[in-house]
Copies of this chain bind each other. A is one copy, B any other.
Amino acid sequence: MTKMQKEYNLSKNQQIVFDIIEKSNEPVKAYSILFNVKKKGIKAPPQVYRALEKLIKLGKIHKVESKNAFVACKSSNCEISKATAFSICEICEKVTEIANNKLSNFLNSFEDKSGMKYKKYNLEFFGLCKKCKKS
């Protein structure tokens, strides 16, 4: 553990995994991460999955459930990951985290007659991105 690390609060493996995800411009799958970190000494699935789990808890990354893949959090609001929204293009598969106050306010305050108290949500929108709409 040297002072060269970008993030003092991340452990070695957590930082390695986070770097991969953050550099990617598309969601990254766990085994793709595993493949890419073999050269750095991470050899087995649990090492990757444990880092992913911790990074999610910290709100540094999110899991895109419909894709079983992981993206770095861009919104910096979601320090602790409890409310996530993504837009997913059905053609090019581009995934973008949605940061929209109207949306998050609406969902954070949503209540229905079930009597359930919602603390957390995950929303995935599907459609066509600007580019793919044109073509």
Task: List A residues at the B interface (Cβ < 8 Å).
Answer: 65-66, 87, 89-90, 96, 98, 100, 103, 106-107, 110, 112, 114-130, 133
A112 engages B98 (CB within 8 Å) = yes
**A128 adjacent to B117 (CB under 8 Å):** yes
CB pair A123–B122 under 8 Å, yes or no, is: yes
A127 touches B123 (CB 8 A): no
Give the number of times this chain occurs in the complex, counting copies: 2
Are B129 and A116 in contact (CB-based, < 8 A)? yes
Contact B114 A87 (CB under 8 A): yes
Contact status of A127 and B133, CB under 8 A, knowing A65-B66, A106-B106, A122-B66: no
A87 adjacent to B125 (CB under 8 Å): no
Q: Give chain B nearest CB distance to A89 CB in angstroms.
A: 7
Complex Cα gap A65–B69 (Å)? 12
- A65-B65, A65-B66, A66-B65 known; A96 and B120 CB under 8 Å? no
Closest chain B residue to A119, Cβ basis? B127
Contact A124 B122 (CB under 8 A): yes
| Contact partner, A110, options B96, B103, B130, B133, Cβ 8 Å | B103
Which residues from B are CB-within-8-Å of A124? 65, 121-123
